[in-house]
Amino acid sequence: MKAKRYFNTTGFCRPEKHYMLDPLRNQSVIFDLIEKEQYFTIHAPRQTGKTTLLHALANRLNKEMNYISTVFSVENAGYKSIPLPEAMRTIIESLYEESTKFLPNNELPPKLTGYKKSHNLLYMYLSAWAKQMEKPIVLLLDEIDSLYDDVLVAVLRQLRNGFQGRPKQFPSTIALVGLRDVREYKTKVRPSEASLGSGSPFNIKAKSILLGTWTKEEIAELYSQHTKDTGQIFSKEVVDRIYELTGGQPWLVNAIANEIVVEILKRLHKKNNTRSRGRGERKFNRQTRHAFGQLNR
């Protein structure tokens, strides 16, 4: 029996489980950057679909079989007291572990045995991986902004140092993903008057991509998936009001729909007698308006 889809409010979205919009729609610029072997950044506030986009992108690239792609987070190395060599080891451990979820055994990064802690371990590890692979590697690095001070600078410097060797000796494309454009973190690492030199690692990217919020039409498209599955209708009036309240912020759009469908409408159904159920569009609209009114209280 096929599982019912639902409005997701925790973690990244999966098309087989959740109502969702294609995260790669209107993102042709990303594929253009990958084709041109560029490094770029993706940034947006929390809970706006960054991780969902990364997983969709890696899965598509791997399915098309022209690239080797994986998503991994550097968050485990994101605390101030971590020594630099330990941070590098922690990062490649995360890369290897997450790669097992995306890639077959013959495309995985090298085994971790033999790689000791060192300041330039990330560069050596990525270089060794790229040299072993026939296909170019697209690396999607999440939570870059979780890194502090010299660890952040060291990661960016190693990625910059490998840039000229791509695609045969280093990943051909790297996306750095976080809450803000990576260049905005320069002042987090160095005072504004201090220079990192002409080879500043913060000049690593070709383009910065800001993920936006949803339009009314996109909200309606998302909700129409629920209507198709269940018959429950979100009227234009309700969609307009949800857009007004949320500004199209993806998590809020999902959270309100989930509250209406899972909590409020169930309570309303319990109050109705059985003869009042299944009377079509007008009843569904009336219930949804009522539910939305309760949500606003």
Same domain for 160 and 202: yes
| Structural domains counted in the chain | 2
Same domain for 252 and 221: yes
Distance CA(288)–CA(272), nearest Å, equals: 14
CA distances 80 to 77, 83, 146, 147, 295, Å, are 9, 9, 10, 8, 41
Range of the domain at 236: 216-295
Average pLDDT of the residues in 58-76: 97
Same domain for 169 and 63: yes
Q: Which distant-in-sequence residues (6+ apart) come within 8 Å of 281 by Cβ?
A: 233
Q: Is residue 22 part of a domain?
A: no
Of 165, 189, 210, the one marking the end of a domain is 210
Q: Is residue 16 part of a domain?
A: no
Q: pTM value?
A: 0.84
Q: What is the pLDDT of residues 154-195, one digit of tens each?
A: 999 999 999 999 999 999 999 999 998 877 766 555 555 444
Same domain for 256 and 227: yes
CA distances 249 to 14, 199, 218, Å, are 18, 37, 11
The reply to whether omega before 23 is within 30° of 0 (cis) is no
Of 210, 244, 266, the one marking the end of a domain is 210
Q: What is the dihedral of CA 169, 145, 157, 86, to 10 degrees?
A: -90
* CATH number of the structural domain spanning residue 175: 3.40.50.300
* Of the listed ranges 51-55, 133-137, 139-143, 184-188, the one predicted with least confidence: 184-188
Q: What is the pLDDT of residues 227-281, one digit of tens each?
A: 999 888 888 998 999 999 899 999 999 999 998 888 765 655 444 443 444 443 4
Q: Is residue 20 part of a domain?
A: no
Same domain for 224 and 152: no
